[in-house]
Structure 1
Amino acid sequence: MDKNKNDLMSLIIKTLKANGLKITEKRQILIEVFLKSPNIHFDFDTLLEEVRKEWPHYGVATLYRNLRIFVDKGILSENIIGNKKYYELKMFNKKKIHAHLICKYCGSIDEYYSPNLVKYIKMIDKKYDFDVYYGELNFYGICSNCKRAIKNDLK
């Protein structure tokens, strides 16, 4: 792990300890998965596969429990897209407010960021006297790869 990831790991560990939680090897492995791939949206099965690369007997119940703790403590965000939950690093993440672009054909998830999106959220804050801390904005459609594949199939 590089210095930046070590620093983030230390901050997350301090947060867990401050909340009276033990720092187990299994929790550290889970955090490392997110630190290695901070831009990935992990579904449960993919996440289980990743943590089992480090700990082959990482249990399903353990993963559910740790995900719930990390979401509750603001370390991870949980997004429900369709009928699936996806997790991404939230705490100390330098990501800007963004929208998810979800392909209904292949299930890929890309992120969209625009300064206009931030301006719009600030307008909502002001107009409704409502402080937005976090939100989800999901757009469903068809990605360029799937459009290209469909075009090729029609030829």
Structure 2
Amino acid sequence: MAHPATEETIDLVKEIFSSYLKEHNQRQTPERFMVLEEIYSADGHFDADDIFFNMKDGGTRVSRATVYNTLDLLVECGLVQRQQFGKNQYYYERAYAYQQHDHIICKKCGTVLEFCDPRIQEIKTMMGKMHDFNITGHSLHFFGTCQDVEACEKRLESNTGKKHSKVNQ
């Protein structure tokens, strides 16, 4: 499971974001940087509403539109990854200084488990060589259902209105 980024990493991603905004003639508003900091201070995956409500609950005045627009900019500049775990369910996670990992998703309760297996890197390297292809990244999602049906049902009940929960490996 991911842990919040260090202050050093947060300062660095702010610099990267600042340069990106300048290069693309976008305004450098305090709200955009607050969204970035909220993301890099969080654990794991989140959707746009998670960010919006966390900031609102923390006393930060930011519009939902600003959160969505900032997420789009952060995806464009490579600081945040967008993942699609369901038909219309988009989740985000920080991308800078964050170990490559993959996901196991329960189709019933929405739990997302992260895992990292070095064999996947080996497969990626081998496929690149076999097909004479320069692979620059990957996204791997396994879908299924929790084996512990009772725990899955409890998570489903407690997550009513929430699309997912984070579970430690």
Tell me how far apart the structure 2 counterparts of residues 73 and 136 of structure 1 sit (CA, whole Å): 18
- Matches of residues 127-142 of structure 1 in structure 2 within 5 Å? 127-142=130-145
Higher RCO structure, 1 or 2 (CA under 8 Å, sep 6+): 2
Q: Of the candidates 18, 37, 50, which is equivalent to residue 32 of structure 1?
A: 37
Tell me how far apart the structure 1 counterparts of residues 153 and 63 of structure 2 sit (CA, whole Å): 43
- Matches of residues 3-152 of structure 1 in structure 2 within 5 Å? 3-37=8-42, 39-52=43-56, 53-56=58-61, 58-83=62-87, 84-90=89-95, 92-96=96-100, 98-143=101-146, 146-149=148-151
Identity over aligned pairs, percent: 25
Unaligned regions of 5+ residues in structure 2, if any? Answer: 1-5, 155-169
Q: How many residues align?
A: 147
Tell me how far apart the structure 1 counterparts of residues 117 and 133 of structure 2 sit (CA, whole Å): 21
Tell me how far apart the structure 2 counterparts of residues 68 and 14 of structure 1 sit (CA, whole Å): 16
Structure 2 counterpart of 1:149, one-letter code:
A
Tell me how far apart the structure 2 counterparts of residues 151 and 21 of structure 1 sit (CA, whole Å): 45
Q: Is the 8 Å Cα contact of residues 83 and 91 (structure 2) preserved in structure 1?
A: yes
Tell me how far apart the structure 2 counterparts of residues 128 and 121 of structure 1 sit (CA, whole Å): 11
Query: Given the two structures, how large is their TM-score scaled by the length of structure 2?
Result: 0.74
Q: Secondary structure at the match of 2:92?
A: strand
Taking only aligned residues, the RMSD between alpha carbons, in angstroms, comes to 2.4
Q: Secondary structure at the match of 1:11?
A: helix
Tell me how far apart the structure 1 counterparts of residues 153 and 67 of structure 2 sit (CA, whole Å): 41
Structure 1 counterpart of 2:123, one-letter code:
Y
Moved over 4 A (4+): none
Tell me how far apart the structure 1 counterparts of residues 71 and 151 of structure 2 sit (CA, whole Å): 36
More helix by share: 1
Per the TM alignment, residue 10 of structure 1 is displaced from its structure 2 partner at its CA by: 2.8
Per the TM alignment, residue 13 of structure 1 is displaced from its structure 2 partner at its CA by: 2.5
Query: Given the two structures, how large is their TM-score scaled by the length of structure 1?
Result: 0.80
Unaligned regions of 5+ residues in structure 1, if any? Answer: none
Q: Deviations over 1:12-43 (max 9, x none)?
A: 33333343332211111111112112x41111
Structure 2 counterpart of 1:69, one-letter code:
L
Q: Deviations over 1:27-66 (max 9, x none)?
A: 11111112112x411112212112323423x222222211
Q: Is the 8 Å Cα contact of residues 29 and 54 (structure 1) preserved in structure 2?
A: no
Q: Secondary structure at the match of 2:49?
A: helix
